[in-house]
Structure 1
Amino acid sequence: MADVPSSSGDLGRANYATIWDAVARAVPDRVAVRTDAEALTYAQFEETAARLAATFVEHGLGVDSTVAVFMYNRVEYLTTLYAAYKIGAIPVNINFRYQGAELAELLEMSRPAALVYPASLAPAVVDAAARRPLPGLVLVVPDDAPADAPPAPGTPFAAALDAPPLPPQERGPEHRIFMFTGGTTGRPKAVVWTHGNLFDSQLFSIYGALPVDPPTSLDDVTRIAARDDLPRTVCLPLPPMMHATALFNVMNAMVLGGTVVFLSTARFDPRAALRAMAEHGVTRLVVAGNAIVAPLVDALEAGAGADVSRLTTVLSSGMVWSDDLKRRFLAHAPGATLIDIVGSSEGGPFAYGVVRGPDDLPSRPRLAPGALVLAPDHTPVEEVGETGVLAYRGAMPLGYHDDPVRTAETYPVIDGVRHVVPGDWVRVLGDGYVELLGRGSGVVNTGGEKVFPGEVEKVLLALPGVVDAVVLGLPDPRWGEVVTAVVVTAPGAALTAEQVQDEVGRHLAGYKKPRRLYVVGEIERSPSGKVDMRRLRRRVTELREAGR
């Protein structure tokens, strides 16, 4: 590996490519990425990314070029990110569940100069290519594509690694990272981070659990990563890296000189995940609330026999993670700290729910440093029992790509200070604790009263036999909207509307009781655990029209 000048300035100059290059020089023989089939040292990983970066440059990519990554979690995903960062290019995260029309829409929005995808997703790429031209550089990663899959357009990924490695170049903090997020409704939109602001926002997540002083320079970062006396981070991301929580925690693990573990397939297999955790000594597990924890707990309780005792941290963000599942998980990993992060792609973190043992349950999120609760007029809400929206002052994204109106709405300047206010409502509990109520766009207005779905869902998920639940408002000529519950129950469990209303009524005001109940076999969620509310509304409307 070629040397670059050592940086010892302020960490406001942080750039992930420069940091990872420095870590690779410091611990070249340490394993950076591991799968069932291979293990790459930091030196090997850096060289592979440098070869791909050279190919990008040969094809005219450079600073601010966009690189579309249409892929599930695997080594090539992380290699592509690293290569893009090395040349100041902008990776574009694309949901690997997208069909051709959805892929074409995102390609049209992001205008990538390169596309990297696995052969198994060729049908979507072929369909997208019929709708709009593909980028000039298309790289295909071999995987377990079905025999009847169409020929995959593009050049084999391995051929892009034949170029001589691009020498490391020190990059600054101004280079950008896109995080496309569709939320639960609406057209995808890109939140734009700079490397410097993202790294600054992650400092607590990276170093908060370590017995070290926070770094103030790149040399400090490298020295911490190279220390053999610190506990080694072995990170397994189970949600896809198109989800910010998984991506950022993987990036953080590499800052620490840790090892990132990937499963071998796109499909989530809880038993395979448990085997990987035991075999590779995973210390940091990234999940997506109940959607991932429930299958893991079920497998553990069914006698999977996996040793998960080396887990020290389990992180989740943006999804419901019920207290019951936290308690059941801790029974198998008593040494783990469960961290439920209240955050968003738009910024944060806003609050943390930290559980170190059963005595910390029920879990309550507490405001993070820099977070506060605001009234609609942007004045602070501090009175116990009052409601408001979460806000954050600190390192945050530049805003939404090419959307100044929405950027101004979500990132208001209040008393001369820029805030991020995505619209998540909470109730103030005192001493910094809050109760999550839900995103403002999902509030149900029934008879003039506002009902926050998350508040009702929490009660439903505590019911015996309920494994998933979503609350929404449906149009009603009398009430404007009526509270409606869509529930998934365990096999053999029976649930009636009366039971649901009685249980909700025991905990919440009467107007919050669901007037309609639909028990379904499954609530379809994205790989990150989010629900497509438009699709769910259509499904419930069909059920109602069918007289169910």
Structure 2
Amino acid sequence: MNAPHYSDLWQGIARAVPDRPAVITADETLSWGRLHAESAALAQHLSEVSGLRVRDAAATLLYNRPEYLAFTWACLAIGVAPVAINYRYRAHEVRALLQDSDSRVLVVPSSLGAVAAEAAAGLDVELIVVDDDDTAVPGATRYADIVVAGGDMPRQAPRGADLRLYTGGTTGAPKAVVWDLDTLLIARRQSTWGLIGVTPPETLEDAVAIAIDEDRPRVVILPLSPMLHGTAQSATMATLALGGTVVLHARARMDVGEAYRLIREHGVTRLVVAGDVLALPLAEAAERGGGLPTVDSIVSSGMRFSDEVKRRLHTLGDLAIVDMFASSEGGPYAFGITRSADDLPARLALTPDAVLLDEDHREITLEEGALGLVAYRGILPRGYYGDPEKTASTFREIRGRRYVIPGDWARARGDGTIDLLGRLSAVVNTGGEKVFPAEVEQVLLEHPAVDDAVVFGLPDARFGEAVSAMVAPAPGTDIDVAALLDFVGERLAGYKKPRHVFVRPSLGRSATGKIELARVKADAVAELAGAR
């Protein structure tokens, strides 16, 4: 396959079907022609007024708004690296990423103008403000004025540009993964054309023809998770590459009821969620409403997505659930795909470019019980922006081949599927035995009284570390700790059974499903100290 560029493909679609809806919110519909015009005006401003050149960077502090998509297209069209910063960040966090990414422009809603102004104070950063309330941001350029002025974008995007996707998962601190835009669509070919059962096109012209084919069912996507995250970003860009329509909730805070209304009103066919955090309230809303009759696929990655919630979703429509194991640094490593409740429990199947490596970083055969590090050897990013040391530790050149090794261990099941065990850094070393928290968490979650669980190690004078768990009860139930431990002991080796169990009403997961493990451990230590 040649390397069609996102911007070139989107331009071909916009020229061919300018009146087709590209972006829909509760307040407006942007046709492909209008999205192209706004992106072109912004591209011209960034190049001629802001003075940005190929491989410079510009950032957004936007939630899921149409301007996010126009900004991304504008950057790609002129070879500027788009950088999405989490709109929940405080000023000092935003400032750190502006400096780390060398961004010279920040696009921000007026409601976050004060945060942006504080973050950019003293930096050579132009603020471009999207009006979402009446807040004035002194010295900023209004997005609306740029759009009214109009402009053009290059018919062919420059080569050699990149996209910088921030992640904290593998590195432990936010770092930008640098993806080569010349090959990004090839890297995402499976999640673009593969998910609709189409052979990836060989030329730009073929890609445009697929996208504008009126006889092909159109993808209509609603990303419930923020587009600044890799899965939602990739899925949304894929939808546009297929000539589809993006439906946006377009609010800073998620209202699942409103999102469900948009799903039904606009015939959404694909949803992006963040595991149970969004999938569970979606299932509840759909159960109260009329199900999910138009949805044919739900995509999630990187978050716990339980079989119970998947089962509920499968009863609400004829849909496939794609639970991906992927990272900003590469992949997808594995897919857990279920097409009905009969396919549960979901199993992760390694993708063709994913392998397991032993401790000497040699590929191993996937015989039953084989334990190895998950690695990926397909098209990979250049590395981390401005951090050659972290790049070298994550992207390994091994016997003439380049791999990304995020640090997750897995056990082969002997049929091409794996059980994901987690990071070695999270392993609990108890009396010389290694316990992978994910393995114990899975068993805890199988107990009907347990709604959520996290497993970790606590210091132990005799064993070094003691396997410990914090659990939250299912609604309307109480957890009998002794019975729960018996349940675990019947399914796992004795050394894997938690020695300490802490029961809490909730584990306090963030909006993206994360648990602050340091807080959990401190809470557990305090309870143990009080019991002595």
For residues 436-490 of structure 1, give each alpha carbon's deviation from its aligned partner in whole angstroms, at most 9, with x where no partner exists: 1112222121221111111122122222243322222222232222222222334
Question: Equivalent residue of 1:430, what SS?
Answer: coil
Q: Distance in 2 between matches of 1:370 and 1:364?
A: 18
1:249 aligns with 2:232: no
Q: Compared with structure 1, are the counterparts of its residues 182 and 210 closer, same or farther at alpha carbon in structure 2 (3 Å cutoff)? A: closer
Question: Equivalent residue of 2:149, what SS?
Answer: coil
Letter in 2 for 1:261: V
Question: Equivalent residue of 2:166, what SS?
Answer: strand
1:154 aligns with 2:140: yes
User: How do 1:330-349 and structure 2 match up within 5 A?
Assistant: 330-333=314-317, 335-349=318-332
Letter in 1 for 2:387: D
User: How do 1:452-491 and structure 2 match up within 5 A?
Assistant: 452-491=436-475
1:265 aligns with 2:256: no
User: Which of residues 94, 114, 118 is equivalent to 1:103?
Assistant: 94
Look up the match of 2:307. 323
Letter in 2 for 1:41: S
Q: Distance in 1 between matches of 2:522 and 2:57?
A: 35
Question: Equivalent residue of 1:324, what SS?
Answer: helix
User: How do 1:64-75 and structure 2 match up within 5 A?
Assistant: 64-75=55-66
Look up the match of 1:124. 115
Q: Compared with structure 1, are the counterparts of its residues 220 and 528 closer, same or farther at alpha carbon in structure 2 (3 Å cutoff)? A: farther
Confirm or deny: 8 A CA contact 1:15 1:172 kept in the other structure: no
Look up the match of 1:187. 173
Confirm or deny: 8 A CA contact 1:241 1:247 kept in the other structure: yes
1:204 aligns with 2:194: no
Confirm or deny: 8 A CA contact 1:497 1:516 kept in the other structure: no
Letter in 2 for 1:460: L
User: Which of residues 479, 485, 494 is equivalent to 1:495?
Assistant: 479
Confirm or deny: 8 A CA contact 1:443 1:451 kept in the other structure: yes
Identical pairs, percent: 44
User: Which of residues 328, 342, 347 is equivalent to 1:359?
Assistant: 342
User: Which of residues 389, 403, 409 is equivalent to 2:373?
Assistant: 389
Look up the match of 1:5. none
Shift of 1:526: 4.3
Q: Distance in 2 between matches of 1:133 and 1:539?
A: 40
Q: Which runs of 5+ in 1 are unaligned?
A: 1-9
Look up the match of 1:235. 221
Letter in 1 for 2:304: V
Look up the match of 1:380. 363
Q: Distance in 2 between matches of 1:291 and 1:256?
A: 28
Q: Distance in 1 between matches of 2:407 and 2:443?
A: 22
Q: Distance in 2 between matches of 1:91 and 1:474?
A: 41
Moved more, 228-237 or 493-502: 493-502
For residues 314-366 of structure 1, give each alpha carbon's deviation from its aligned partner in whole angstroms, at most 9, with x where no partner exists: 11111111111111111112x10111111111101111111011221111111
Q: Distance in 1 between matches of 2:371 and 2:24?
A: 45
Question: Equivalent residue of 1:319, what SS?
Answer: coil
Task: Give the length in aligned residue pairs.
Answer: 530
Letter in 2 for 1:477: A
Q: Distance in 2 between matches of 1:390 and 1:454?
A: 15
Q: Distance in 2 between matches of 1:528 and 1:153?
A: 34
Moved more, 268-277 or 219-228: 268-277
Shift of 1:173: 4.8
Q: Compared with structure 1, are the counterparts of its residues 543 and 258 closer, same or farther at alpha carbon in structure 2 (3 Å cutoff)? A: farther
Q: Compared with structure 1, are the counterparts of its residues 103 and 547 closer, same or farther at alpha carbon in structure 2 (3 Å cutoff)? A: farther
Q: Compared with structure 1, are the counterparts of its residues 53 and 484 closer, same or farther at alpha carbon in structure 2 (3 Å cutoff)? A: same
Q: Distance in 2 between matches of 1:365 and 1:141?
A: 41
Moved more, 305-314 or 25-34: 305-314
Q: Distance in 2 between matches of 1:33 and 1:542?
A: 50
Shift of 1:196: 2.7
| TM-score, length basis structure 2 | 0.94
